[in-house]
A = this chain, B = another copy of it.
């Protein structure tokens, strides 16, 4: 296999890229060697060498502790618990949360044989034991596994006396009722809020 085929093969493993679009991307780069291909190779190498898992929250960053944990302006009393680093990034993009995070690294799953000891739950309980944390926001996905995990964490944290909350369920902003599933609609109905 020559060097170009190897690039195509690796690119096609990225999410959202199949063999056809990987070939197109490779061809695009091949004709832009100086401006795109070489810089991308270098930046991937740099990132690959720099990336570290934050020892406090499990975030992936180019420093440890990560830039969120190291940021002294962020609220230490609130921790938002997410399944994966991607969820943390999604929440950060909203710029509406000023506390800290805790990345579980997955969800409890009997089928996949993932138990509490496989997730970063112990370290979360430890962080809550220090006395500075007053609220845990559970932001696991609304899947069966995500909710099971949220339930399990709630029980584990009961003894620490920390307040546990979860994200609101309801109609997405811009969503149309007609296209919403029954579960979301009934959740939105139950959690209705007073106006004015």
- What is A's interface to B at a CB cutoff of 8 Å? 2-4, 6-7, 10-11, 13-17, 21, 23-31, 33, 36-48, 50-51, 60-62, 67, 85-86, 89
Main secondary structure of the interface of A (DSSP, over half): helix
- Report the Cα distance A11→B3, complex, angstroms: 19
B37 and A48 form a contact (CB under 8 A): yes
Q: How many copies does the complex hold?
A: 2
Task: Decide: B51 and A3 in contact? CB cutoff 8 A.
Answer: yes
In angstroms, Cα B48 to Cα A44, docked, is 14
Q: Knowing that A24-B86, A37-B47, A41-B42 touch, tell me 14 more A-B residue pairs with CB under 8 angstroms.
A: A2-B50, A2-B62, A2-B67, A3-B46, A4-B47, A10-B43, A11-B40, A14-B28, A16-B24, A17-B17, A26-B47, A27-B85, A41-B41, A45-B45
By a CB distance below 8 angstroms, the chain B residues around A13 are 36
13 contacts between A and B (CB under 8 A): A3-B43, A4-B47, A4-B51, A4-B61, A6-B46, A7-B43, A14-B25, A14-B29, A15-B24, A17-B25, A30-B85, A41-B42, A45-B45
3 nearest CB pairs, A to B: A41-B44, A3-B47, A41-B45
Whose C-beta in chain B lies nearest to the C-beta of A24?
B15
Once bound together, how far apart are the Cα atoms of A158 and B29, in whole Å? 37
Among B36, B40, B60, point to the contact of A31 (Cβ < 8 A).
B60
- The 8 Å CB contact of A25, one of B16, B42, B50, B60, is B16
How far, in whole Å, are A16 and B22 apart by their CA atoms in the complex?
Answer: 9
**Min C-beta distance of A63 to chain B, whole Å:** 9
